[in-house]
Amino acid sequence: MRLNGKIALITGGANGIGLATAERFAREGAKIILWDVSDKGIEVVERLGREGYEAIFKQVSVTDQGEVEQAVAEGREYFGRIDILINNAGITRDRTLLKMSKQEWDDVIGVNLTGVFNCTQAVAPVMKEQSYGRIVSASSNVAIRGNYGQTNYVATKSAIIGMTKVWAMELGRYGITANCIAPGFIHTAMTDAMPEEVRKQSIPHIPLGRWGFPEDIASGYLYLSSDEASFVSGICLTIDGGAAR
């Protein structure tokens, strides 16, 4: 029970990596505040409840600062505190530089970057008051190596690494750690929608010879959220089977 009694807020928690993280955290003793733009989160918390875990759901767009602040206040009122923030929500709108529309740029920046800023800025004062907090955000190994057709996505994931280092400096004095995770190719609905040929071509570049699973990333989130990582702050943990270069 590595998170026994902790309150964990997970964005983008209704599917994929976020869902796997919510399930893992619940099994490790955390109480879950689940956010997603999809109402599928209702089914998730109902199922967790039937399994004996405590979880609440709120349909939230992380791009809406007022909505985020209200949802943080509600979550804190319900559980009394927020110990862990997992900034997991993210989207892709892939297009090469010469074809990318302003809307495709804005959409990805809004969710993947501004959304992370909104959530962290809203939760950090709660953690400061508690003199305790764990902030873990989703970057990507493409932030390190780049990726064709992902100017917008790579820009956001690179910025996450930089913001994380700043937050580690600014918030450490309050007992708050800030870290991020850089997943590689992971089996989720988003990546499974990629063309089969593209997925096959990626395998030779992964030393372990396979894609990862959402549970692999959930394990990384768990470590950085636990007291085992109490002296770990400002890092980006790459989980990609050795593919980053």
**pLDDT tens across 45-98, in order?**
999 999 999 999 999 999 999 999 999 999 999 999 999 999 999 999 999 999
Q: Is residue 1 part of a domain?
A: no
pLDDT in tens, 146-192: 999 999 999 999 999 999 999 999 999 999 999 999 999 999 877 77
What gap in Å lies between CA 167 and CA 134, rounded to an integer?
Answer: 11
Q: Is residue 162 part of a domain?
A: yes
The contacts of residue 117 (CB under 8 Å, 6+ apart) are 163
Q: Is residue 174 part of a domain?
A: yes
Overall pTM surpassing 0.75 (yes/no): yes
131: which 2 tokens? 């003199």
Return phi, psi of residue 90, to 5°: -170, 160
Exposure pattern of 190-210 as b/e (b: 16+ CB <10 Å)? ebeeeeeeeeeeeeeebeeee
Task: Count how many domains the chain has.
Answer: 1
Q: Is residue 20 part of a domain?
A: yes
Mean pLDDT of the chain: 96
Q: Is residue 2 part of a domain?
A: no
Of 53, 153, 174, 221, the catalytic one is 153
Query: Domain containing 159 — which CATH number?
Result: 3.40.50.720
- 78 catalytic, yes or no? no
Question: Under a CB-based contact definition with an 8 Å cutoff, are residues 70 and 46 in contact?
Answer: no
Q: Is residue 147 part of a domain?
A: yes
Q: Is residue 154 part of a domain?
A: yes
Q: Is residue 244 part of a domain?
A: no
What gap in Å lies between CA 13 and CA 91, rounded to an integer?
Answer: 13
Structural domain for 186, as ranges: 7-239
